Every structure is written in C-alpha cells, then in structure tokens.
Amino acid sequence: MTTLGIYEKALPRGISWVERLTLAKELGFDFVEMSIDETDERLDRLTWDKKQRKEVIDAVHDTGVKILSICLSGHRRFPFGSKDASARKKALEIMAQAVDLASDLGVRTIQLAGYDVYYEEKTIASRNYFIENLKKAVTLAAAKEVVLSIEIMDDPFINSISKFLKIKKQIPSPYLQVYPDLGNLSAWSENDVGYELEAGISQISAIHLKDTLAVTADFDGKFKGVPFGTGCVDFSGCLKTLKRLGYSGPFLIEMWSETSSDPKKEIEDAKEFLFPYLKEAGYFER
C-alpha cells in the first residue's frame, strides 16, 4: 500500500519527536521526513549520542509513525563539488555521519540535494568533484543498506531526471536512486514532465508533492512557499502517469509551515487539495 508522509518543516518547530510524530499521526500521515539542513542546530543531529537516538526510536515505536527518510540539505553549506578541499572533506564526514544516523534510526532513504555547489561558481571541476564524492558516498551508504536518492532541484545542475540518469550511468549502484519533486520538475520549461517520469520510473524511490511557479526568461521561478493550486504543476497528469507506470512508493508533502501561525490548518488545506488528485489517479482509496 502506498504511504503518505509529511516534511518535518511543515510541522511546528521546537516540539519533541514524540509530539511531532503524534501530530503527524493525528493528521493522517504514515511517516515524517527528517530535516538535516545547513544550520548548526540541525547538523548537530548527526552527532546525537545513543540516548538521543533511542528517544527518537522510542517515539517511532510508541506512535507507530516512522521516519522513512532524511532530507540532507546540509551539503548546500559543505558541497561535494566545492573548490575548497576542506569543504569536500567535511561533506564526506557529514555523509558518513548521516548514514550512521539513518542506520540507527531505521531510515531507508537519505535524500541528497542535486547541487554540485550552491554558494560557489559552477565549473567543470565542481561537476567532477561532485561525481567523485557522490561515488564515495554511495559506497558508504551501500555498506549499511541505506539508499541515497538525488532530489530533482531548483538548480540547473540536476533539474531533470534525464540529468540524474547521466550521472547514474557512471555510478550504477542500486543504492543510488532519484527523488523527483513534482514542483521542481515542472518549473523548468525544457522538461517534458511525462517523459521524465517515464524515463526514470525504475530509479524513483519517493515523490515530493509541491507546487511551484515556472522559470521564464525574465523570472527565476519560485520553488518554495507556493500555495497548492496556484502554481504550474499538473498534479492530475503527473499522478496518473505515475500510476500507469506502476509507481507504488511513498509520497511526501513538502511544506515550510513550521513557523506559521497555524501549521496544522495549512497541512490540512494541502491534503484537501491533493487528495482528490491522488484518488482520481487511483492512490489512497482507503
């Protein structure tokens, strides 16, 4: 049965993991995607001790809501493709710590941002460093049976499944997969979204549900905080395509409502918008 998750940053900030997972359960979700972003606060999770890890494990067991994935966006600050050797070394340290944490918590998938670099200039060298270090990262993950899944991004480096597949040819491991964000995939006019989903279906580990505003010649697009139904994503077409292709993996609603006045209502509104499309496509008939 297909499962539905919610991004941690959609839920209220500053609550405990048992409170977070309990709220996710009340809202009808099967799992939560943990965030380990570039802030010191969330990067510190990589060095949780046994007691801190056990608290999270106990929260999962007590609530029945799993943490199936980690969104590891900390590499924006310490990228695989950096020209700075110390930053590349730190990126691999972060990767090793994340794999260990995922293994301890029972997390199946670590989502990696598809950036070679974020704050630096992109070069042929940055691409080369990225692929070299991604290969090392996949070796680390494979040793602990953790899947690394590249998100299709708000950045030209990997803004399509086709671009991911070119890199996958160089790292042909079952522990490297792709995590399409329907919003990011749809925002780039050069993408034939139906074809992209068809081309990558055998490599897709999970799907992000999010709306976006399209990139144009005089607009950089908007990739976060776009209310569902006001953007460019053809949810009906995308979901029907995925169903035809036999996709039965998890869906994850990606939102950033953790500091809003009423995160719960925003999440409920998002579900109210998305569920007719999901059910129309043949998902979540329960």
pLDDT digits (tens, 9 = 90+) for 101-129: 999 999 999 999 999 999 999 999 999 99
Band of pLDDT at residue 1, cut at 50, 70 and 90:
confident
**77 in the Ramachandran plot: left (φ > 0), alpha (ψ -120 to 50) or beta?**
alpha
Ordered structural domains, the chain, with CATH: 4-281 (3.20.20.150)
pLDDT-above-90 percentage for the chain = 98
Q: Cα separation of 124 and 70, whole Å? A: 29
Residue 55 is predicted with a pLDDT of: 97
Please, which pLDDT band fits residue 284 given cuts at 50, 70 and 90? Answer: confident
Residue 285: per-residue pLDDT: 72
Of all residues in the chain, the percent with pLDDT exceeding 70 is: 100
Dihedral over alpha carbons 201, 203, 209, 214 (to 10 degrees) = -80
> Burial, 262: exposed, middle or buried (Cβ in 10 Å; 0-12, 13-18, 19+)?
exposed
Rounded Cα–Cα distance for residues 200 and 130 (Å)? 21
User: pLDDT tens for residues 191-246?
Assistant: 999 999 999 999 999 999 999 999 999 999 999 999 999 999 999 999 999 999 99
| Cβ-contact 72, 111 below 8 angstroms | yes
